[in-house]
Amino acid sequence: MAQTYPEVGETLHDVTLPNGLRVLIVPKPDYHETYALFAVNYGGIDVRYVPAGETEMVEDPAGIAHFLEHKLFEKADHDAFDLFGATGASSNAFTGANTTAYLFSTSRAVAENLTTLLDFVQDPYFTDKTVAKEKGIIGQEIQMYQDTPGWRLYYGLLGNLYPTHPVAQDVTGTLASIAEITPAALHRAYRTFYQPSNMTLTVVGNVDPQKTLDLIAANQAAKTFAPATPITRGVAPDYDVATILPYRSLSLPVARPKAAVAIKGQRPVKDDQAGTRFQVAVRLLLEMLFGDSGALYQDWYDQGLIDDSFDCDYQAGATYNFLTFAGDTEDPQALSDALVAVIAKGADQVLDPARFARLKQAGLGKYYQGMNALDSMANQLSTQSFTAVNAFELAGVMRDVTLDDLHQAAGQLFDLDAVTVCHVFPEVGA
């Protein structure tokens, strides 16, 4: 099915194949490049589930989704990276809390690279030897992240907010958790989550939509897949503020201290129009209160409380949502106290209507600018494909958000009982 979105000047071809795979194609004839992204609705938090064909809940080691991402590239007689490289394509993959994605960008041999992408992701190959080898490689990656102060600060915050929820676990796992991963566990997770009906293939670029769809459909029709089965996920929602650890401090080899504050969401955010509108309102609220064009940011900057590293963010998944604020500072306690003071106002925030209107326009400008980048468009379409809102509809949602939506978002999220603080201090002698 093809649908045109005049506001963004794009046409989206959205087709679900007989095996359940959803294919999204956006032709961009004026571009030389093509970007493709093959995503699965499975990420770092999905460690508890009922395996396909079974009835009992299991729990996998932390980091298995990321481990699986690494292993799918390696086959018995080749590595998928080499196949992409032979055509001049650039390939990569990433694992987040909720999704895993495999991608390539190229200016030629699109059909060949699409075939490679589909084939290597849909042909798992795990042996005791290759899995053991990968543990050493990922172990080095884990250690690298453990030596990164910002990473430690972020997961320290999440550990405070979610002591028992897997969103607080590093997506790479730990040395102890990846030691437990076996080929059998990888196959079990793969057959449960890597069903075509739980995946989306997004292609954006200089392609003929019908020829591209025909190629993908033929590729899928030539393969044999197990019948689609419902996925029973066992990670429970966590909106309980009673479990929050209010404070944590870390001593790390840093030149300057760091401070971070987080707020735990206490209600679910649905993946429908209302939930999307709420998320847009929250992000506009953050820009209104803490953006670098605001008076508060300038005041804190002049005081030396913050520098250019200061940032804030909002993340929402099916079983969690949270706000984070973090930055380098000479006085971590003063910065976290200043942040908490703003949060304490709840819905009683002073929000200037004129500034709100400007920030909405700026947000729309960034959105349209992002539509000019193939990777940005493809990633947005892919992410939204697992929700009820199309990425090309986001501009309309943003236009509909009101100042009252921002006050309501502040009232819902800004609660001192939901706050945690984390400080990083230089090691003694560092």
Q: Predicted confidence band at 428 (pLDDT cuts at 50, 70, 90)?
A: confident
Task: Note the pLDDT of residue 100.
Answer: 98
Confidence check: pLDDT of 307 > 90: yes
In angstroms, rounded to a whole number, what is the distance separating the alpha carbons of residues 108 and 88?
Answer: 8
Contact between 425 and 257 (Cβ < 8 Å): yes
Task: Note the pLDDT of residue 429.
Answer: 61
Query: Measuring CA to CA, how many Å separate 204 from each of 80, 116, 307, 331, 382?
Result: 21, 17, 37, 46, 11
In angstroms, rounded to a whole number, what is the distance separating the alpha carbons of residues 341 and 138?
Answer: 41
In angstroms, rounded to a whole number, what is the distance separating the alpha carbons of residues 205 and 150?
Answer: 35
Measure the CA angle with vertex 263, ends 294 and 279; round to 5°: 65
Contact between 102 and 216 (Cβ < 8 Å): no
Out of 110-119, 139-148, 385-394, the most confident range is 110-119
Contact between 89 and 109 (Cβ < 8 Å): yes
Q: Predicted confidence band at 51 (pLDDT cuts at 50, 70, 90)?
A: very high
Fold adopted by 247-426: Cytochrome Bc1 Complex; Chain A, domain 1 (3.30.830)
DSSP lists the bridge partners of residue 22 as 16, 200
First to last CA, the chain: 60
Q: How many CB atoms lie within 10 A of CB 380?
A: 20
Sole residue written with tokens 């500034």: 355
Q: Predicted confidence band at 346 (pLDDT cuts at 50, 70, 90)?
A: very high
Catalytic option among 69, 74, 134, 287: 69
Query: Measuring CA to CA, how many Å separate 395 from each of 192, 390, 404?
Result: 35, 10, 18
Concerning whether 69 is annotated as a catalytic residue, the answer is yes
Task: Note the pLDDT of residue 243.
Answer: 97
Q: In which element (H, E) is residue 216 found? A: helix 209-221
Contact between 296 and 290 (Cβ < 8 Å): yes
Percentage of residues in the chain with pLDDT exceeding 70? 100
H helices present in 100-148, as ranges:
110-121, 128-146
In angstroms, rounded to a whole number, what is the distance separating the alpha carbons of residues 56 and 39?
Answer: 26
Confidence check: pLDDT of 367 > 60: yes
Fold adopted by 2-233: Cytochrome Bc1 Complex; Chain A, domain 1 (3.30.830)
In angstroms, rounded to a whole number, what is the distance separating the alpha carbons of residues 316 and 309?
Answer: 23
Task: Tell me the pTM.
Answer: 0.94
Domain boundaries, the chain: 2-233, 247-426
What is the edge-to-edge ordering of all strands in the sheet holding 247-252?
A: 247-252, 419-426, 258-264, 320-328, 311-317
Q: How many CB atoms lie within 10 A of CB 53?
A: 11
Task: Give CA 233 to chain center in angstroms.
Answer: 18
Contact between 47 and 60 (Cβ < 8 Å): yes
Q: How many CB atoms lie within 10 A of CB 234?
A: 12
In angstroms, rounded to a whole number, what is the distance separating the alpha carbons of residues 150 and 57?
Answer: 34
Nearest to 424 by CA among 328, 305, 307: 328
Mean pLDDT on 107-117: 97
Q: Are domains 2-233 and 247-426 of this chain identical in fold?
A: yes
Tell me the two tokens of residue 53. 């064909």
4-13, 212-221, 231-240, 278-287, range with the lowest pLDDT: 4-13
